Structure 1
Amino acid sequence: MRTSSDLELILREAERIVSPSEEEKRKLMRVLEEALRRVEESVKRLNLNAEVVAVGSSVRDTWLPNNNELDIFVLFPKGVGDKGVLGSLIVDIAKDAFGEYEQNYAEHPYVRVRYSDFEIDLVPAFKILPGERIISAVDRTPLHNSYVREKLKRPNDVRLLKAFLKSIDAYGAEEKVGGFSGYVCELLIINYGSFLETLEEASKWGSRVYIDIEHHLTEEYALSAFSGPLSTDRSYRS
Structure 2
Amino acid sequence: GGGGAGVVGVEVGGSLAKGTLVRKDLQDIDIFVVFENEDATKELGGILKKAKLRGKVKHGSRDYFQIVEGNVIFEIIPVVQVDKKKPEDAENVTDVSLMHVDYVKKKIRKNKKLSDEIKLAKVFCHACGCYGAESYIGGLSGYGLEVLVIYFGGFVKFLKWAVRGGGGFGYSNSRFTFVNDVGPPNSRFTLEDGEKFVESKSLAHPKIVKSKSLAYLRGVKNKSNNLRSVPLVIDPEKYFKNGNEVLQELNASKLQSPLVVVDPTYKFRNITAGLSYPTFCKFVNYSKKFLKSPSVKMFEKKEFNISVFEKLAKKKKARLLKLKLTTDRQEGDIAGTKMKKFFDFLIFKLKKKEQEVLAGEFVYGGAGQEAEGYLVVKEKKEIEIGGVDSGLRDAVKNFKKVRKKTYVRGGKVYAKEKVDIDKVLKRANGAGVEMGASMVSF
- Taking structure 1 as the reference length, the TM-score comes to 0.74
SS at match of 2:29: strand
Identity value in percent: 24
What residue in structure 2 maps to residue 171 of structure 1?
Answer: 131
2:54 to 87, 94, 100: 100
Count of residue pairs brought into register by the alignment: 191
Cα distance, 1:98 vs structure 2: 4.1
Cα distance, 1:216 vs structure 2: 1.0
The answer to whether the aligner puts 1:231 opposite 2:191 as a matched pair is no
What residue in structure 2 maps to residue 50 of structure 1?
Answer: 8
Cα distance, 1:130 vs structure 2: 2.2
**Over residues 95-119 of structure 1, what are the superposed CA-to-partner deviations in whole Å (9 max), with x where a residue is unaligned?**
2234311111112221111346521
What residue in structure 1 maps to residue 21 of structure 2?
Answer: 63
Structure 1: tracts of 5 or more residues without a match: 1-40
What residue in structure 1 maps to residue 232 of structure 2?
Answer: 209
The answer to which structure has the higher strand fraction is: 2
**Over residues 9-49 of structure 1, what are the superposed CA-to-partner deviations in whole Å (9 max), with x where a residue is unaligned?**
xxxxxxxxxxxxxxxxxxxxxxxxxxxxxxxx141xx3444
| Structure 2 contact 30–75 (Cα < 8 Å) conserved | yes
| Structure 2 contact 6–36 (Cα < 8 Å) conserved | no
Larger Rg: 2
Task: After TM superposition, list the pairs within 5 Å mapping 1:1-238 onto structure 2.
Answer: 41-43=1-3, 46-66=4-24, 67-78=26-37, 81-82=38-39, 85-86=40-41, 88-115=42-69, 117-132=71-86, 133-152=89-108, 153=111, 154-205=114-165, 206-207=168-169, 208-217=231-240, 218-220=242-244, 221-222=246-247, 223=255, 224-237=259-272, 238=275
| Structure 1 contact 68–119 (Cα < 8 Å) conserved | yes
Give the 4+ runs in structure 1 shifted more than 4 A.
none
CA RMSD of superposed structures (Å)? 1.8
Structure 2: tracts of 5 or more residues without a match: 170-230, 248-254, 276-442
SS at match of 1:140: helix
- Measured in 1, the distance between the counterparts of 2:125 and 2:136 equals 15
- Measured in 2, the distance between the counterparts of 1:120 and 1:182 equals 17
- Measured in 2, the distance between the counterparts of 1:116 and 1:167 equals 24
- Measured in 2, the distance between the counterparts of 1:167 and 1:89 equals 39
| Range 180-189 or range 89-98, more displaced | 89-98
- Measured in 2, the distance between the counterparts of 1:214 and 1:130 equals 16
**Over residues 172-219 of structure 1, what are the superposed CA-to-partner deviations in whole Å (9 max), with x where a residue is unaligned?**
110111011110110011100011101111111224311111111241
| Structure 1 contact 71–122 (Cα < 8 Å) conserved | yes
The answer to which structure has the higher helix fraction is: 1
- Taking structure 2 as the reference length, the TM-score comes to 0.41
